[in-house]
Amino acid sequence: MNPTVKYLKTKGMAEKDKGFKFRQLFFRDAGQATQEKQIPITTPSNINSQDDFMVSRAPLSDGAAENQSLIEEFVKRLQNLINQNNQPGFDFLEFTESLFEEKQNPTPEVYKTVFRIAQKIDKSLTPSKLLDSAMFYKDLIQRTAETEINKGVSKKQGLQSEKDNEKTNLDNGLKDTRAKIQQLTRQIQELQNQEASLNNQLQAIDQKFEGKFTDIDRKVNAIRGAKEQVIVSIVDIESGIKTNLS
């Protein structure tokens, strides 16, 4: 049996199986048998919410390898988002899976064959319907990507603001510290000048008081000499009085 016929008949309208091989649309070298474990639909809404793309799960490396790792991670997340929001019935997603079930790089003939077989399952299927559903997925990816990009830009702006505030605080703190250093430097210089002055005064202290000590000693000795002279004179007169008048 033609693999495409088998694939379409097996899948039919079982929506829970849709989208599992859609990864091949993004990773052409992934191999035909590769399948990704899908995230189950848990949000009962028309468009399911996705996780935060700004929180990367990929281990970081250096340079181009890091960029490629991030790109592959986000492609997988977008793929899971498409799978979660697969529209009812046979649409662009099932058509794409059928193409890659047949060939990794489908030819025009494969496009026609898959479409012809798909019409037997869904009589209402038209190229316009496929293009409309393709537009739905493109819009979904566009809106999601723009939302996450805006979140990233907003986060970067917040970090830039945080950086600017921290830089301003550090700059002000540095200026205050330098001003204090200058003030302390002036105070140290003043204290050093005061130290030198005091040291000079200390070195000159003997010379300063030597003359005064000498002057006092000379006067003291002079007073002693004067006292002796006066007392001797008094004693002489006192002796004469005792001798001559007693």
Distance CA 21, CA 11 (A): 12
Please tell me the predicted confidence (pLDDT) of residue 17. Answer: 43
Please tell me the predicted confidence (pLDDT) of residue 214. Answer: 92
Please tell me the predicted confidence (pLDDT) of residue 67. Answer: 85
Please tell me the predicted confidence (pLDDT) of residue 62. Answer: 59
Angle between helices 92-102 and 127-203 (to 10 degrees): 90
The full 3-state SS of 52-114, as one line of letters, equals CCCCCCCCCCCHHHHHHHHHHHHHHHHHHHHHHCCCCCCCHHHHHHHHHHHCCCCCHHHHHHH
Closest by alpha carbon to 5, among 170, 119, 160, 152? 119
Please tell me the predicted confidence (pLDDT) of residue 91. Answer: 93
The full 3-state SS of 71-82, as one line of letters, equals HHHHHHHHHHHH
N-terminal to C-terminal alpha carbon distance within the chain = 177
E-strand spans in the chain?
none
Long-range contacts made by residues 6-15, C-beta under 8 angstroms, separation at least 24?
7/97, 7/98, 7/101, 8/98, 8/117, 8/118, 8/121, 9/121, 11/94, 11/97, 12/121, 13/89, 13/90, 13/121, 15/86, 15/88
Hey, what are 120's tokens? Answer: 């037997």
Alpha carbon separation from 226 to 159, 176, 219 (Å, rounded):
97, 73, 10
Please tell me the predicted confidence (pLDDT) of residue 105. Answer: 83
Distance CA 16, CA 41 (A): 9
pLDDT tens track, the chain, 246 positions: 444 444 444 444 344 344 444 445 554 443 333 333 333 333 333 445 555 655 555 455 556 788 888 899 999 999 999 999 999 889 999 999 888 886 678 889 999 999 999 999 899 999 999 999 999 999 999 999 999 999 999 999 999 999 999 999 999 999 999 999 999 999 999 999 999 999 999 999 999 899 999 999 999 999 999 999 999 999 999 898 989 997
The reply to whether the predicted model has a pTM over 0.85 is no
Please tell me the predicted confidence (pLDDT) of residue 177. Answer: 97
Query: Do the Cβ atoms of 100 and 107 come closer than 8 Å?
Result: no
Please tell me the predicted confidence (pLDDT) of residue 178. Answer: 97
